[in-house]
Chains A and B, each alone.
Chain A
Amino acid sequence: MIQVRNLSFEYPGHRVLHQLDFTLEAGSVTALVGPNGAGKTTLLRCLAALERPLEGSIHIAGIDTRDAPREVHRQLGFLTDFFGLYEGLNVAQCLRYAARSRGIPGHLAMAKAEQAAERLGLADRLQAYPGQLSRGLRQRLAIAQAIVHEPPLLLLDEPASGLDPEARDDLAGLFRSLNQQGMTLLVSSHILSELDAYSTHLLALRDGRIRAHRPLTAAAHELHRVRVGLCEAPALRPTGEAIGALAELKWESDTELVIGYHGDAEARHQLLTALLAQGLKVSSFAPLQTALSQLYFDRDQAAAQEVSA
């Protein structure tokens, strides 16, 4: 769906993107992560044909962004960090305009607008004006505008920022649903746990370079950690072998330990069962990091070690 070759972008003073090369498969949900200033927003803007790269090429669904920027726009929706809502138009008009301006013929525009509103839970607010909506609903309207023409690719820049946990959860559900319907998503966010809920791939940037690009399903075989709290200190601390095949076991206090293991949710369940079977009075059992954040930070540490070595 997205093919990026040798992409560079510069602002005076620094190169924001360094010769990026990557491909995103159709049907994937890629989490675009990285610290502030890593180049995430610039990359999204280049992909959306809003910025002209210094060098390199970008193909969206086979179309070169330099040759046919408007054709590229038919293929994608882009939610920017500011929503771009017309305060003077009501929700129905905003969506109809978005549909028409993205190539939907006049006789289909209203139906598409209503479908998008339905998808985003705005069907009962078609006559409301953006100024009358809460932040969460404005966000939904902005997303509805981005997907009203049902593009095969959706780019989202910090879609969950400023949303409460419930709204974030709804948003994650929406992204999963859009993905199940065949849409490819590239989502930039600082909130790694949120991305973990729906991402299939990770694309990590740092200082404008790709730090990691891989499917997240493989992360299940990598190291996970849980923090286990106990009601009381055990008379005898069980060994790793006694609990199961653990990668690491570290007692942080008499009533708290961190356990590293390989595997998925099933493995975690077996771990808890083994702890209880050892007679430990478990009071809490909390995965320390999500697969995505763990992967992201582990890779960061490895890179730091490489640099210091």
Chain B
Amino acid sequence: MNLNPEFQRLLWLHVTPGRLLAMPSLIGLIVALTWFSADPNERGMMLYSLGIAGFILLPLFWGARQSGESLRQELEENTWEAQRMSVLGPWQLTWGKLLGSTLLSWYGGLQLLGVLGAGWVLGARAELTAYPLFKVVLLLLLAALFMQGLSLLMRIYMARGFGARRRGSDAIYLLVFIYFIGIIVSALGDRISYIEWYDYRLVQLDFIIASLLFWGPWVLFGCYRQMRRELMFRNGPFAWPLFLIALATYVAGFLHEQALANHLILSLALLLALGYLLALTDARSPLTLRHLHIAWHRGHSLAFSDQLPLWVMPLLLALLAALAFIPVGQQFAAGVWGLSLLLFALRDIGLMHYYSFSPSMRRPELAIGFSLIAAYLLFPLLLGQLVGKGHPLLTLFWPHPDQPAIWLLLAPGLQLLLVVILLRARLHAMHLFTDYSTR
């Protein structure tokens, strides 16, 4: 049989006869324990809750973890290069990893859906009238698929930089997971809750299902594109900005106000935060900068856009959003504040690169962390004690919207200039701009 080789490899690794027996045995034991320990009138509800909790634990948490691990282990065991040498295409590798690494969790998950269904029939149906069972099941299935895809996407993106350090990437993954589970659990309450999005008032569960149906394919597409990048294929330049615009539009809808300027503020904040996070977790390879430099000088626009780090585009769109305040929102101050935030973000990203390219620094992320804590917490607190709250000098560390525009732009602008000078000197010392073709 011509199974996807990657899927088959992961089956060999994860789906063993022992595990196939252990999974139903374990679930059966827990069900029996629940059944006998529960009040006879609450057995149905208990089984229903057990089914949901178990599903969240297995395909959602463990499955998502496994899908990310499928790539991290490759890097750790030096087998990733061999995979890059295979003839498997990016899509084959993506779905092979995604399904192969999570199959055992789905095996347990389907049994837990059976438990959930049994609980529903045995009594939960009478108590929970807010949503039909199929919607709950659909939500769980889509949420698990989404989280598994997102986990793989995060691992592929972070594979070469931040994510190579297991603890750091585990912490980010855990934060995302906890946030996501919070959304899912809040939607599964026993009362119908609503959500306002732009001018619509929607049932929260339906909205989350629709959102997962919309964003799930984007996540898979993201995995596919990142996999293409790993396999030396060039990606087109349009999908990433299109995704960012879709995401900003989606998130802006949660601000249920009519004013377009307020939507722009939320979009700007989201784009800045995303760009910042991507820059923080980026591999920050000098080789990439070198290739960018060469592509720029030779006018190779496709090669340039292909090599461009992902954090650049959200910041570029954030700049556009900030500039759009002035004509669209008639809010000069808000636009300036947005620009000020962007300058601070660029300053930090410059510092991240400066530390990362230090020839003597063994753990640049520690220096980055310390600098950020000092810049955003310790110095402002100290200065606040010395000069008092609301002093213009505090704009050196954080843009207060009520400060004069000149301060808001000059304070981070000068810092950014200083960082650029330092970084440029470091890059020169690394011969990043040297032209070897004439030597």
Interface pick from A9-17, A159-167, A215-223 = A9-17
Residue B406 at the A interface, CB < 8 A? no
Interface pick from B168-176, B327-335, B430-438 = B430-438
Residue A87 at the B interface, CB < 8 A? yes
Choose from B83, B85, B427, B439 the contact partner of A78 (Cβ within 8 Å). Answer: B85
Choose from A15, A54, A69, A89 the contact partner of B12 (Cβ within 8 Å). Answer: A89
Known contacts: A84-B82, A106-B1. The answer to whether A11 contacts B231 by CB under 8 A is no
Q: 1/0 per position for B227-261, CB-CB distance to A under 8 A?
A: 00001110000000000000000000000000000
Please give me the residue from chain B that is nearest to A90 by CB atom: B12
Please give me the residue from chain A that is nearest to B90 by CB atom: A70
Choose from B5, B78, B436 the contact partner of A84 (Cβ within 8 Å). Answer: B78
Chain B positions within 8 Å of A86 at CB level: 9, 13, 77, 79
Known contacts: A49-B232, A69-B232, A89-B9. The answer to whether A11 contacts B84 by CB under 8 A is no
Chain A positions within 8 Å of B87 at CB level: 70-71, 73-74, 101-103
CB of B363, distance to nearest CB on chain A (Å): 20
Q: Give the interface size bracket for B toward A.
A: 35 or more
Known contacts: A93-B12, A106-B1. The answer to whether A13 contacts B82 by CB under 8 A is no
**Complex-state Cα separation, A102 to B282, whole angstroms:** 31
B81 touches A80 (CB 8 A): yes
Residue A18 at the B interface, CB < 8 A? yes
**Complex-state Cα separation, A71 to B13, whole angstroms:** 28
Q: 1/0 per position for A114-145, CB-CB distance to B under 8 A?
A: 00000000000000000000000000000001
B8 touches A88 (CB 8 A): no
Chain B positions within 8 Å of A8 at CB level: 436-437
**Complex-state Cα separation, A48 to B123, whole angstroms:** 62
Chain A positions within 8 Å of B189 at CB level: none
Chain A positions within 8 Å of B291 at CB level: 52, 54
Highest count of chain A CB atoms <10 Å: which of B1, B85, B427: B85
B287 touches A48 (CB 8 A): no
Residue A62 at the B interface, CB < 8 A? no
Interface of B is mostly: loop
A73 touches B86 (CB 8 A): yes
Known contacts: A12-B430, A102-B86, A102-B87. The answer to whether A87 contacts B5 by CB under 8 A is no
Residue A227 at the B interface, CB < 8 A? no
Q: Which of A32-61 contact B (CB under 8 A)?
A: 48-50, 52, 54
A69 touches B233 (CB 8 A): yes
**Complex-state Cα separation, A86 to B431, whole angstroms:** 39
B2 touches A18 (CB 8 A): no
B89 touches A70 (CB 8 A): yes
Q: Which of B412-439 contact A (CB under 8 A)?
A: 427, 430-432, 436-437, 439
Highest count of chain B CB atoms <10 Å: which of A12, A15, A50, A89: A12
CB of A81, distance to nearest CB on chain B (Å): 10
Q: 1/0 per position for A69-99, CB-CB distance to B under 8 A?
A: 1110110001010111111110001000110
Q: Which of B75-107 contact A (CB under 8 A)?
A: 77-79, 81-89
Please give me the residue from chain A that is nearest to B83 by CB atom: A101
8 contacts between A and B (CB under 8 A): A10-B294, A10-B436, A13-B431, A50-B81, A69-B233, A78-B85, A80-B81, A89-B9
Beyond the given A69-B231, A106-B2, could you list 11 further A-B residue pairs with CB under 8 A, ordered by the A residue number? A12-B290, A54-B291, A54-B294, A73-B87, A74-B87, A80-B81, A88-B13, A89-B9, A93-B9, A100-B8, A101-B83
What are the 10 tightest A-B residue pairs by CB atom distance, in nearest-first order? A100-B5, A84-B82, A101-B86, A15-B436, A12-B286, A106-B2, A82-B78, A101-B5, A103-B87, A12-B430
Q: What is A's interface to B at a CB cutoff of 8 Å? A: 8, 10-15, 18, 48-50, 52, 54, 69-71, 73-74, 78, 80, 82-89, 93, 97-98, 100-103, 105-106, 145
